[in-house]
Structure 1
Amino acid sequence: MSTTQSERLRELLEPLVSSKDLDLEEIEVASVGRKRVLRVVIDSDEGVDLDEIAEVSRELSAKLDEDDVMGEGEYTLEVGSPGAERPLKEHRHFVRATDRLARFWLTPDAGGGELVARILKVDDEGLDLEVPGVKGRKPTARRLAFTEIARARVEIEFSRKSKSPENIENAEEA
């Protein structure tokens, strides 16, 4: 997809999404066989539910029908949320992931490698994390600057423990 089309799509769709107090996270035009698919990802601090996605989808479809930004050919519009293992790219993504477990790929300056930790607090410079203990050890606290993060994403937790003040205090003492 050309940068021009991407910019035009964003300019056309972002005001409508923003008017719903939602963020336009991603726009992608992909070819699937002979068909084109326009994927639009939306989110908010509270997340999005299926009713919001359906409403935005109808309104985006009407808006796209009024404009020629997608050209004359047929395409399918798919509107959705970032998903369970969402990538964390923007500051707001990290804020939304507070109290969630995340996987971080560290920059070479930060020692490289991967780190899995719970995001406890986010500020302008970085994150306060709780690194789970291994083999019965207590969790430890760690500070990670945004400049040390090459990429990050939320981890799926099937048996998430509830947040307890005792665990946080122990992590802060370590």
Structure 2
Amino acid sequence: MIKTPLETKILTALEDVAADHGIDIVDVEVVGATKAPCVRVRIDTLGEGGITLDEVTQESSWISEAIEALDPVSGSYTLEVSSPGMARPLRRPQDFMARIGQMIQLTTTAREGRKRYQGSIVAADDSGIVLRVTEGTDQRFEFDEIRKCSVKPVFDFKRQQEGN
């Protein structure tokens, strides 16, 4: 996955201490203005069941301290700590391997004039994934050409209505 040097620096610093807290650093993004950016940190528990809002609040203090110790941004910035949500970002090979068969949205470096893809993961290994795009063809993407990827939540409202 392509990350900026700043995002990589923050991600590495947080991952170095996250396991001690029983936390998985799902993703780090630095977005917004360069003078006062927003540092977004998405976290989850290492165990099953997902993270609660109370747990996110509880974990925010050590995350803030770790980022402050790193001092990655000259000047002020906003820190957002949240759960990965339903449209969970995927960035590591194991994230993709655990979601074979699921729909994802993918942004890549430009390939034949196209950057965005949507489809289901057919296969994943340590160097990339095979995506069955919505047009029906399978395409391989190496991790070093993937800029951003997230799970595409699927809502089946028809089945919910039939169940009532």
The normalised TM-score by structure 2 is 0.56
Which residue in 2 is equivalent to 1:69? 71
CA contact (8 A) 1:118 1:131 kept: yes
Per-residue deviation, residues 48-96 of structure 1 (Å, max 9, x unmatched): 432332222122234455x371578554321123443345443233124
Do structure 1's residue 16 and structure 2's residue 17 form an aligned pair?
Answer: yes
Seq. identity, %: 26
Pairwise mapping of residues 1-174 of structure 1 onto structure 2 (< 5 A)?
Answer: 3=5, 9-19=10-20, 20-23=22-25, 25-28=27-30, 30-31=32-33, 36-43=37-44, 47-64=50-67, 67=69, 69=71, 73-104=75-106, 107-108=111-112, 116-124=118-126, 127=129, 143-147=138-142, 151=146, 152-159=149-156
The answer to whether the 8 Å contact 1:17/1:24 transfers is: no
Give the greater-gyration-radius structure (CA): 1
Q: Which consecutive residues of structure 2, in runs of 5 or more, have no partner in the other structure? A: 160-164
Letter in 2 for 1:81: S
Q: Which runs of 5+ in 1 are unaligned?
A: 135-139, 163-174
Which residue number in structure 2 is paired with residue 167 of structure 1? none
Aligned length: 149
Kindly provide the amino acid, as one letter, of the partner of residue 54 in structure 1: T
The RMSD of aligned alpha carbons is 4.6
AA in 2 matched with 1:156: P
State the SS of the aligned residue for 2:59.
Answer: helix
TM-score, normalised to structure 1's length? 0.53
CA distance in 2, matches of 1:6, 1:126: 21
Structure with more relative contact order (C-alpha pairs < 8 Å, separation 6 or more): 2
Amino acid at match of 1:157: V
Separation (CA, whole Å) in 1 of partners of 2:116 and 2:94? 22
What is the DSSP-based 3-state SS (H/G/I as helix, E as strand, rest coil) of the residue aligned with 2:86? coil
**Alignment deviations for residues 112-170 of structure 1 (CA, whole Å, 9 cap, x no partner):** 686643335433465566677x9xxxxx7x654334995444222111899xxxxxxxx
Amino acid at match of 1:69: D
Amino acid at match of 1:97: R
AA at the equivalent of 2:57: A
2 CA distance for matches of 1:72 and 1:129? Answer: 40
Is the CA contact (8 Å cut-off) linking 2:7 and 2:28 kept in structure 1? no
